[in-house]
Amino acid sequence: MRQTLFATALLGLSLLGRIGTTDAAQPTAKPVYLDKNRPVEERIEDALSRMTLEEKVAICHAQSKFSSAGVPRLGIPEIWMTDGPHGVRMEKMWDEWSDAKWTNDSCTAFPALTCLAATWNPAMADAYGQAIGEEARYRNKAVLLGPGVNIYRIPLNGRNFEYMGEDPYLASKMVVPYIHGVQRNGVATCVKHFALNNQEIDREYVNVIVDDRTLHEIYLPAFKAAVQEGGTWAIMGAYNRYKDQFCCHNQYLLNDILKQEWGFDGVVISDWGGTHDTHQAAYNGLDIEMGTWTDGLAWNWSNAYDKYFLAKPFLAELQNGKIDEKVLDEKVRRILRLSFRTTLNPDRPYGSFATEEHALTARRIAQEGIILLKNEDNLLPLDPKQPQKILIVGENAKQMMTCGGGSSELKVKHEVLPMEGIENYFGDHAQITYVEGYSSHPAINRHAIRQQAVDEAAQADVVIFVGGLNKKDNQDCEASDRRSYNLPYEQDQLIAELARANRRLVVVLVSGNAVAMPWVADVPAIVQAWYSGSEAGNALASILSGEVNPSGKLPFSFPVRLEDNAAIALDAYPGDRKNVEYKEGIFVGYRWHDSRQIEPLFCFGHGLSYTSFEYGSASLDRQEMKTGDSITLSIPIRNSGSRTGAEIVQLYIHDKKASLPRPVKELKGFRKVVLEPGEEQTVTFTIDAQALSYYDDDKQAWVAEPGTFEAWVGASSRDIRSQAAFELLSE
């Protein structure tokens, strides 16, 4: 054996020598696909023409939990993917879900996407994308599995924290810069989950029934913006079904809308285990199949990946002519395009990982996203220089929130917990004590720890309660929904008792979802702190101490009761195990509250500041427009308080009369302006026909119907400060 190997090696050397001589005499031209000066589409065709059928099939499905094959013979690298969307996930074993236990993969955790959306600041989304893109690049990933833009339909969805809220306009404006930021690094975003994945219960199979108008007005716009304005290089199909076809191979969503109508030239990647059939996967728009677990493959059979729908079964159908090779080539072109955009891009930067700069970016986003929901008698901010007894209560003050939650789990270099952040800011002058007060652990005697907290609260100068949800099952966590709108672990009782014991109570909610607040009238100060990443504690304390003036606003409504949510009111969630019908149609979130005159607990767009803002009158540059024109609205905003602060000025459009039922108002513009005390700035918005349009099912098109419209400008969806009317003229 040894001798044979030796002889083969010698033969190889002599062959190499001969090739070397010939090459020196007649240098061969560089293959087109390797020539970076040639147009990418030409390089794709050249690479495609060099690939065997087997090589083409190999790149259409996973080769490990998070990678798909390259073409080693041609020097085309494997495609490595990572979750997403809040940081670069720790490495996993090749073929198992368990961690690979690397020691160099502890990342920066950025705030959850709900927090990013709450900044209402596209520049923050760009900074987020840039930083997480640098981390993904450093870790040599070609695809980041995120961001998620599924619309917030019900407050029970366990994955709402990974998305950007209830409004399609806000989500569209925030997703685009995130994509730009990431892709600047030669890393693709994989915007997910396309589409209609709005609940975790039955997510693997539930068929969503929704009318075309609602699909286009509510559930598709953020994806469309991601494709057409963001230019995302990848999209992830959703687990659920639509029109009775799985979304990962759905003719209507993937071929007709995404690829044809929107002109998407990137790669459709299945959600992990979202592929169910070879023919449908071949024909209905899927390009790369990931995470399939049929026939027990999740249990690591050898060569499990060969058994994927787009692996050997696909190859067999191609070989016996049942599937045309053109179908395969179409996928391969897209996958090669992804490689040229990422791993084969010689100008790709190198990235950086878990740097101080990234921690700072995470912190800035958190500081802009944290929301002051209520602040009676200006209880906040608390003076960090004042000697005082601060009692901190609540498990979430000491709970890591970057781990858990499902696929968005992270292994972080550091996470500043709320307790630590408060100590950092107040520790020099205040006497700080902690009592757990409630526990998620079932074996704990809740009554006893509650009593201890209440007793100590009576002795404190101020009580900061840090509670909310967490990343465990049936909380804010993938694969299950919440079971109740109320806070878990008897927190409602605890908060009510704390409020009775000490009037100076600040409630800090760590969650990615709205929660019931039966105690709202008794608590003077409430802060929505989200899951805010590596710098969570410092960001929170900077708001509590007033070092940072809060400027976040809600990206979704907080209903008073669960029944005030449209899907719940109409018994349209979670469906009958087979179908879920979106009976509320376009009336999601504030659109429902407005149309039914339901007073929310905290409305969409709400958020307070430590300063105050005065709005002048809105004026228009003209009162009439035609479809191709636009109108400019101007409104002066003044900081009438004594601190520098940022206001998010919101523009809603109200259609006076329409042939179809329309929401009372819809968000069509927003600006975040920073103002010094006494400073005034004029904010302008451009209103075009798209802002006035609805999607007409019959015409299958967006229609701007002539008539009178009103532009409403305000500090939230329920705090409209000025309005101005104008006409859309018929052509």
Shortest spacing between CB 480 and ligand BGC, in angstroms: 12
Token couple for 579: 């179908």
Q: How far apart are CA 442 and CA 431, in angstroms?
A: 31
Residues 47-86 that bind ligand BGC (CB under 6 A): 83-84
Residue (83 or 166) nearer to ligand BGC, CB: 83
Token couple for 466: 């840090």
Query: φ and ψ at 634, to 5 degrees?
Result: -125, 140
| Per-residue mark of binding to ligand BGC, 119-158 (x: CB under 6 A) | --------------------------x-------------
Task: Indicate the DSSP class of residue 258.
Answer: I
Token couple for 72: 């080693």
- For residue 20, what are the contacts with CB-CB under 8 A and spacing of at least 6? none
571 tagged catalytic = no
Residue (237 or 488) nearer to ligand BGC, CB: 237
Shortest spacing between CB 272 and ligand BGC, in angstroms: 4
Shortest spacing between CB 605 and ligand BGC, in angstroms: 28
Shortest spacing between CB 281 and ligand BGC, in angstroms: 17
Residue 717: half-sphere exposure toward Cβ, Cα within 13 Å: 32
Counting residues that bind ligand BGC (by CB under 6 A) gives 7
User: Which residue among the candidates 202, 271, 481, 564 is catalytic per the annotation?
Assistant: 271
* DSSP conformation letters of 160-198: GGGS--S-HHHHHHHHHHHHHHHHTTT-EEEEEEETT--
192 binds ligand BGC (CB under 6 A): yes
Select from 217, 271, 415, 481 the one that contacts ligand BGC (CB under 6 A): 271
Query: φ and ψ at 68, to 5 degrees?
Result: -120, 160
Continuous segment of H or E residues that includes residue 207: strand 207-209
SS3 399: coil
CB-nearest residue to ligand BGC:
407
Residue (116 or 460) nearer to ligand BGC, CB: 116
| Per-residue mark of binding to ligand BGC, 215-254 (x: CB under 6 A) | ----------------------------------------
Residue (76 or 236) nearer to ligand BGC, CB: 236
CA geometry: angle at 209 spanning 482 and 161, to 5°? 30
Select from 33, 161, 219, 272 the one that contacts ligand BGC (CB under 6 A): 272
Residue (192 or 241) nearer to ligand BGC, CB: 192
Owner of token pair 């520098």 = 644
Shortest spacing between CB 415 and ligand BGC, in angstroms: 21
Shortest spacing between CB 590 and ligand BGC, in angstroms: 27
- For residue 228, what are the contacts with CB-CB under 8 A and spacing of at least 6? 262, 263
Q: Euclidean distance between the first and final Cα of the chain, in Å? A: 86
Residue (166 or 271) nearer to ligand BGC, CB: 271
- Strands 624-625 and 719-728, by their bridges, are parallel
Token couple for 695: 């999607």
Token couple for 362: 């995470």
Shortest spacing between CB 190 and ligand BGC, in angstroms: 8
Residues in the chain: 731
Q: How far apart are CA 713 and CA 633, in angstroms?
A: 10
Shortest spacing between CB 192 and ligand BGC, in angstroms: 5
Residue (245 or 407) nearer to ligand BGC, CB: 407
Select from 63, 407, 470, 475 the one that contacts ligand BGC (CB under 6 A): 407
Residues 94-123 that bind ligand BGC (CB under 6 A): none
Residue (195 or 370) nearer to ligand BGC, CB: 195
405 binds ligand BGC (CB under 6 A): no
Token couple for 241: 């079904």
List active site positions: 271
Residues at the site binding ligand BGC, with contacts judged by CB under 6 A: 83-84, 145, 192, 271-272, 407
